[in-house]
Amino acid sequence: MQVKNGNAEPAEYTHLVSAKSAFVTLMVAQIIIGYEWLTSGVTKIASGNFVSGLADSLKGANPGTPRWYTSFIHGTVIPHSHIFALSIEVGEVFVGVTFIAAAIIWVTRWKRLPDMVRGVILVLVFLSAFSGVLMALNFHLAMGANHPWNIPKDGFDETIDLDTVMIFLQLALMAFSACLLCKLRKARKATKLSQGNEADVAIGALLAKGS
């Protein structure tokens, strides 16, 4: 029992409020990440020149790009730039829409959803976060940005870029979705076992009456 403003409050209530606040904060962060991906994808599609111009934009190597990744760009990405460009556009829009829609559904209608729908949403968020990590990692390498474990020599240089921040945030979303999905499956198994035990008890009662 905790005392707040002269009123006693159960510890469960305080824990519930903290959990809800953390959950809402995470969902707000997920919406912001989704908005970043969605606007990026829509901008690429609306510009009309991303697919045709990706190869030319990648031909100029950045000084910070690793050699092995430069070889990958010139040997694989540039020859198939149209496919990669379309994949990026579709991927960014998909990740953005999934993050935003899932966060809104979780906050507003999570309790009303059946377990199967909850599981599907969690899987979609996990896959979207994984796709987002892959895209952000490739953008980070292609831009030759500073790695988070390196300290910039110039005080005016940024320590980490936006893509690196996106990687860590989406890894957190992956971990959250995977953890919640595991708990959901455990809860479903426990429910099935409970229902099975109740059925056994009911059958046993019927047999006892029949005898």
What is the DSSP secondary-structure string of the chain?
-EEETTEEE-HHHHHHHHHHHHHHHHHHHHHHHHHHHHHHHHHHHHHS-HHHHHHHHHHS--TTS-HHHHHHIIIIIGGGHHHHHHHHHHHHHHHHHHHHHHHHHHHHHGGGS-HHHHHHHHHHHHHHHHHHHHHHHHHHHHHTPPPTTSPPSSTTS-SS-HHHHHHHHHHHHHHHHHHHHHHHHHHHHHHHHHHHHHHHHHHHHHHHHH-
Predicted confidence (pLDDT) per residue in 21-61, tens digit: 778 888 999 999 999 999 999 999 999 899 999 988 888 76
Predicted confidence (pLDDT) per residue in 161-203, tens digit: 788 889 999 999 999 899 888 888 887 777 665 655 554 444 4
pTM of structure:
0.77
